[in-house]
Structure formats: C-alpha cells, structure tokens
Amino acid sequence: MGQLLTLNDMKKVRNSLRAAGKRLVFTNGVFDIIHRGHCEYLQEARNRGDALVVGVNSDESVQRLKGPQKPIVPEQDRAAVLCALASVDYVVIFHEDTPVVLISELLPDVLVKGGDYALDDIVGRAEVEASGGSVLTIPLTPERSSTNIITTIIERYCEHQH
C-alpha cells in the first residue's frame, strides 16, 4: 500500500532510496475518476524503477487549470485511491499549477508523462536531465479517459430523464 507524504517526508524517503542505490520514478497528474488507462500507465511507470511517487494536483490547482467544475473527486480521495494501487509507492499532493517545485526538490531518476506530451513540453525535464536522470513518455491506453467516463455518465443519465 502506498503512502501519502508531505514533500519534506518524501525528500527523506528520496534520500534513503538514493543511498540504497534505488531508482525513483516520478509522474504527476490530476487522477480524477481513476480508470484502466491510469492503472496501466502507472504500472508502466513503476516498471521503470524501484519506487514510484505520484504528484497529485490539489483541488485548488485543478480548479485553476480546468475550471470550477473539476475535480469531481476531492484530493484526499484521489490520493487514497492512488495509494491503494499496487504500482504506487508514494503520493504527494502539490498546490502549484505545475509539479516543477516537487520535481526540483526530489530530482527523480526517471520522470514519466503520458504519450500525449511532447518531451520538450514536460515540466521538470531540464532539472531531471541536469541531475543525470531520464525523461520519457508512455503511450496512453486508447479510448480511456476521465472525460470519456463523465460524458458517458451524462449521456446515459440524460437519456433516462426523457
């Protein structure tokens, strides 16, 4: 079972992993309405090292980025579900719009984002590569997204209302 940690506690874990010669993988996202695509992506990320830490956008940062209707699921619940996944070792909630502070502080060995990102657009890439780490993308599972799930719920609910 993964652990929800503060940045300071995660930095301590990072130092002990580094001292033990273990590779830390980092990814981040909103992870609202977790689905198969998230699970497959997180397992692929975890396969790239010895431990996976997931940076999760706080509710406030999601609202700034995606509008007041999001997230559907509150940050503590999103973090709890992520911690329950076998592939996730650690979760850290961040309040900024991007995880650049988190990445700069942790300097993971591997920084992973979904295949919908170009390498040049990945926040934290410069910091990770400068510290000797690698940055890569993982293909997304086709036709799997929180937005698709929300749309399906709305369509089916509206159909039954008429």
In angstroms, how far is CA 151 from the centroid of its own chain?
A: 22
Which pTM does this prediction carry?
0.93
Q: Report H helices in the chain.
A: 7-19, 36-46, 59-66, 75-84, 100-106, 125-130, 146-161
> How many other CB atoms are there within 10 angstroms of residue 110's CB atom?
18
CATH label of the domain that carries residue 75: 3.40.50.620
- Give the structural domain span for 22: 3-161
* pLDDT band, residue 161 (cuts 50/70/90): low
Looking at the 3D structure of the chain, how many domains does it have?
1
**pLDDT digits 0-9 by tens, 53-112:** 999 999 999 999 999 999 999 999 999 999 999 999 999 999 999 999 999 999 999 999
> Comparing C-alpha atoms, which of 55, 64, 60, 121 is closest to residue 88?
55
> Comparing C-alpha atoms, which of 31, 15, 21, 11 is closest to residue 101?
11
> Comparing C-alpha atoms, which of 32, 65, 12 is closest to residue 148?
32
Hey, what are 93's tokens? Answer: 């909630």
